[in-house]
Amino acid sequence: MAIIDRAGRSDRADLPTANRRPRRTPVGWLREHIVLIAGLLALFYLLIPNIVVVVLSFNRPEGRFNYNWNEFSVDAWTNPCAVAGMCDTLAVSLRIAVLSTLAAVVLGTLAAFALSRHRFRGRGGTNVLIFFPMATPEVVMGSALLALFVNMTIVPLGFWTILIAHIMFLLSYVIVTVKARLAVLDPRLEEAAMDLYADERTTFWRVTFPLALPGIVAAGLLAFALSFDDFIITNFNAGSEVTFPMFVWGAAQRGMPPQVNVIGTMMFVAALAAVVIGQFAGRRRRMR
């Protein structure tokens, strides 16, 4: 990659260059690096709970609640499904996440193409409408949907209402993510394709879609994570169905087993791995 990037920033980005004076005193060193230190502290603040989750997964709690360290044990790791019903809720959450992601990605991608490539009346209004589910507090959306489902008893509360609710709030995120990717897509590439004897359909499948794909994949991953982890909206519309976050919520009242931490750790590792792989795949594709 270029040494000087677009903003004129060089790799050794220490600034402001005009004010640099050698700082030999500890106070001086502190002053110069204060921002960096604060930043690192912030990062620490962000990551501490994750570290606690991981550590506590290796705990054998004293009582019903796994909040305080007692003694080291790998019991939870060797018997992850020992807790009654937890793995069932995991399966439910996974099913919902996969289905809602698929639906949201398909509908959302179509909409993203419409919004970013075409000018039509109502475009501004549609943009605002799509923004709202992201900005509205989940309590409001969840309770509103509950009110709807209760009033219109066509669909009983349960798996399907959860699915419907998830697709609803995932749409906005998918549309925003895909739109962002389409915005950076140079339209002249499509012109070049047509100039080189590709008709509209071929241009789409050979140029537009492959270039939009990273955005679509990113949207899918985001949607999956948001769906799997959702609690508030799900809780309102679940009826008698139980998803994993709902299980955790109940566990916070009834008794928190370390297996929950095990799942939490696995999710963290999986997310980390997915992001790292994504970065590497992107870099390797550029190198080849």
Partner 1 sequence: MSTLPAEPLGSLVQPGQPDIPPPRARLRSRRLPYLLLLPALAWLAVFFVVPTITLFSTSLQTGSIYEGYTLTFSFSNYLDAWTRFWPQMLRSLLYAGSATLMAVLIAYPLAYSMAFKAGRWRNVLLILVIAPFFTSFLIRTLAWKTILADNSIVVELLNALGITDVLSLVGLTTGDRVLATPLAVITGLTYNHLPFMILPLYAALERLDIRLIEAASDLYASPFAAFRKVTLPLSMPGLVAGTLLTFIPACGDFINAELLGSMPATAMIGNAIDAQFLRVLDYPSAAALSFTLMVGVVTIVSLYVRRAGTERLL
Partner 2 sequence: MSDPIRIAGDAALRLVSLSKRFGDVVAVDGIDLTIPAGSFFALLGPSGCGKTTTLRMIAGLEEPTSGQILIGDVDLAGQKPYRRPVNTVFQNYALFPHLDVYQNVAFGLRRRGIRDVAAQVEQMLAMVELTGYGKRRPSQLSGGQQQRVAVARALINQPSVLLLDEPLGALDLKLRRQMQLELKRIQSEVGTTFVHVTHDQEEAMTMADTVAVMNDGRIEQLGSPVELYEHPKTTFAANFLGQSNLIDGAVESTDGDLAIVAVPGGRLAVPLDRMPGTSQVHVGVRPEKLTLTPADQAESIPSHHNRLSAVVVETRFLGVSTEYIVRILSGQRLAIFVQNAGQPDQLAPGADVSVSWDPAHTFALDVRQAADAGLDHAGVPA
Contact residues toward partner 2 (CB under 8 A) are 186, 188-189, 191-199, 202, 207, 210-211, 286-288
Window 4-33: residues binding partner 1 (CB under 8 A) = 5-9, 11-19
Q: Binding of partner 1 at residue 146 (CB under 8 A)?
A: yes
Minimal distance in Å, beta carbon 228 to partner 1?
8
In three-state form (DSSP H/G/I as H, E/B as E, the rest C), the secondary structure along the chain is: CCCCCCCCCCCCCCCCHHHCCCCCCHHHHHHHHHHHHHHHHHHHHHHHHHHHHHHHHCEECCCCCCCCCCEECCHHHHCCCCCCCHHHHHHHHHHHHHHHHHHHHHHHHHHHHHHHHCCCCCHHHHHHHHHHHHHCCHHHHHHHHHHHHHHCCCCCCCHHHHHHHHHHHHHHHHHHHHHHHHHCCCHHHHHHHHHCCCCHHHHHHHHHHHHHHHHHHHHHHHHHHHHHHCCHHHHHHCCCCCCHHHHHHHHHHHCCCHHHHHHHHHHHHHHHHHHHHHHHHHHHHHHC
Q: Does the protein bind partner 1 through residue 115 (CB under 8 A)? A: yes
Q: Which of partner 2, partner 1, none binds 46 (CB below 5-8 Å, type-dependent)?
A: partner 1
Residue 62 binding result from partner 1, partner 2, none, given CB thresholds of 5 to 8 Å by partner type: none
Minimum distance of partner 1 from residue 117's CB (angstroms): 6
81 touches partner 1 by CB under 8 A: no
* From candidates 119, 201, 284, 288, binder to partner 1 by CB under 8 A: 119
In whole angstroms, how close is the CB of 200 to partner 2 at the nearest point?
8
Applying CB under 8 A, which of residues 91, 139, 194, 196 lies at the interface with partner 1?
Answer: 139
CB closer to partner 2 out of 49 and 282:
282
Shortest CB 41 distance to partner 1, Å: 8
